Amino acid sequence: MIVTILIPTALRQFAGGQLEMEVEAGTVGEALERLVSANADLRKHLYSGADTLRNFVNVYVNDEDIRHAGKLETPLKDGDTISIVPSIAGGMVAAEEEAFEKKELPALGNDEIARYSRHLIMPEVGMEGQRKLKAARVLMIGTGGLGAPLGMYLTAAGVGHLGIVDFDVVDASNLQRQIVHGTKDIGRPKIESAKDRLQDINPHVRIETYEIRLTSENALELFREYDIVVDGTDNFPTRYLVNDACVLTGKPNVYGSIFRFEGQASVFWAERGACYRCLYAEPPPPGLVPSCAEGGVLGVLPGIVGAIQANEAIKLILGGGEPLINRLLLFDAWKMRFRELKLRKDPDCPVCGERATIKELIDYEEFCGLRPQTNETGQTLVEEKLEMEEMTATELKERLDRGDDIQIIDVREPNEYEIARLEQAKLIPLGQVVNRAAEIDPARETVVHCKAGGRSAKAIEALKRAGYAGRLVNLKGGITAWSNEVDPSVPKY
């Protein structure tokens, strides 16, 4: 059987940049084995050491999750499409069904009737629907790429009470996509900038701000005050926290995520279907999935996905249409293609399943592997980690000025190298560094750098584990630190 395997953006760097691959196979397991045999670096990202699929990687044949079919033994037929859906992070509410607790609907003033007239003349919204929007309370987590368009559309639509949670400040690099902020807002708290813009869009909306980090200590109390929670986060600990808090408080979670030019959207509502953990039982190991800061994001993508999230929230409030409950929407902006996959509630889900074990919020930094684990006596369990030397940008400059024999290896991507570079550096992207280790002279001291120090640390660890014998030093803070400490003419991005 000839089938096509679609390779997601986050994994293409381990498959030679391929978007898809045709293979001959009779089962999903055979097809994936042919994929990883042709692309050896992919294996560790798809399989655990026991050659079982990792829990943060889902595989679909056409639109069916293989976990609910024959898993890796799922049979294939000619022309089937296999989708690999890693975490990056069909139900229906009938029009006459009340999605939320019945509440007295507020009246609309004449100026509001004029403002919302294009809604009011639609029978699917009308006066009653617009009053439902005015009565609704929506909590938005984040005012960044997704939160910017999301907040603007919810405000413009007349959602009566909008809560926003954020503790970040506006940076120049945000302005390529976070359209709620402007150049004059650089350096301001995002929550202040967003509130000013949203209040200007619609003064009839009450905007409540929470300049806090969402934590296990404050999430439940905060979520109970709202009808719907919309997830605009960009990290796994907060995403799992939002999901679990929504399940425990019975709130729908309007989900969106983005990376480069691909996006995902769904509505996770445990009372009516799957939650986020039903899709991704556990997060990927720290550093496996690159952030938008490392991988980039097409500026219009969060606008599209954020608008989809706003659309889903509005449908939930109105109690009409077909929300994305038990459906995962995939969007590829580069190909301008939408795909839809079916989701199913996992009866063994630890938070929403039949025998749920999670009854309260946990430490999500630890759950996602970002905090050291401790034993029963409170002692830190130290994972085996290779020692790593570091050097500051200032120290590197002094060593180079002194004439020390140092080779510099840049492990960023070629397009980043074009933006900013150190003249003395040789470019070997992270994904190639082990295979090209022979190009790094072990007799010379080697400084490895990337944008901010994370990828270069991974490169050093990979080289050491592969047996590289030379001295490797990580440039602390990467080329960004070089720009800050040594040469401001080197662009920051």
What confidence score (pLDDT) does residue 47 get? 87
From 273, 407, 430, select the one nearest 344 (Cα to Cα): 273
CA distances from 211 to 163, 356, 367, 423 (A): 11, 32, 24, 42
Note the helical H segments in 51-137: 110-115, 117-120, 126-135
Residue that has been written with the tokens 């970002």 in this structure: 370
What confidence score (pLDDT) does residue 449 get? 98
Q: CA quadruple 131, 134, 135, 141: dihedral positive or negative?
A: positive
Residue stretches of the chain with pLDDT short of 50: 89-97, 373-376, 380-385
What confidence score (pLDDT) does residue 9 get? 77
Contact indicator for 194, 143 with CB cutoff of 8 Å:
yes
DSSP label at residue 383: P
**What fold is seen in the domain 389-485?**
Oxidized Rhodanese; domain 1 (3.40.250)
Residues of each domain in the chain carrying CATH 3.40.50.720: 136-374
Q: At 339, which helix (H) or strand (E)?
A: strand 337-342
Residue that has been written with the tokens 């995962």 in this structure: 328
DSSP label at residue 67: G
What are the b/e assignments for 442-452, b being 16+ CB within 10 Å? eeebbbbbbbb
CA distances from 147 to 53, 221, 265, 304, 327 (A): 33, 21, 13, 11, 21
From 332, 326, 312, select the one nearest 263 (Cα to Cα): 332
Residues of each domain in the chain carrying CATH 3.40.250.10: 389-485
Contact indicator for 389, 373 with CB cutoff of 8 Å:
no
Instruction: For residue range 316-344, list pLDDT tens digits in order.
Output: 999 999 999 999 999 999 999 999 999 99
Q: Which CATH superfamily is domain 2-86 in?
A: Beta-grasp domain (3.10.20.30)
Beta-strand pair 472-475/389-391: parallel
Q: What is the CATH number assigned to the segment(s) 136-374?
A: 3.40.50.720
Q: At 259, which helix (H) or strand (E)?
A: strand 253-259
CA distances from 8 to 12, 42, 433 (A): 6, 12, 22
What confidence score (pLDDT) does residue 294 get? 72
Hey, which residues are catalytic here? 292, 450
Secondary structure (3-state) at 211: coil
Distance, in Å, from the CA atom of 375 to the CA atom of 365, rounded to the nearest integer, reads 16
CA 331 to chain centre: 14
Instruction: For residue range 400-435, list pLDDT tens digits in order.
Output: 999 999 999 999 999 999 999 999 999 999 999 999
337-342 β-sheet, strand order: 206-210, 161-165, 137-141, 228-231, 253-259, 262-268, 327-332, 337-342
What size, in residues, is the chain? 493
Entry pTM? 0.77
From 330, 264, 334, 260, select the one nearest 295 (Cα to Cα): 260
Residue that has been written with the tokens 């229906």 in this structure: 92
Residues of each domain in the chain carrying CATH 3.10.20.30: 2-86
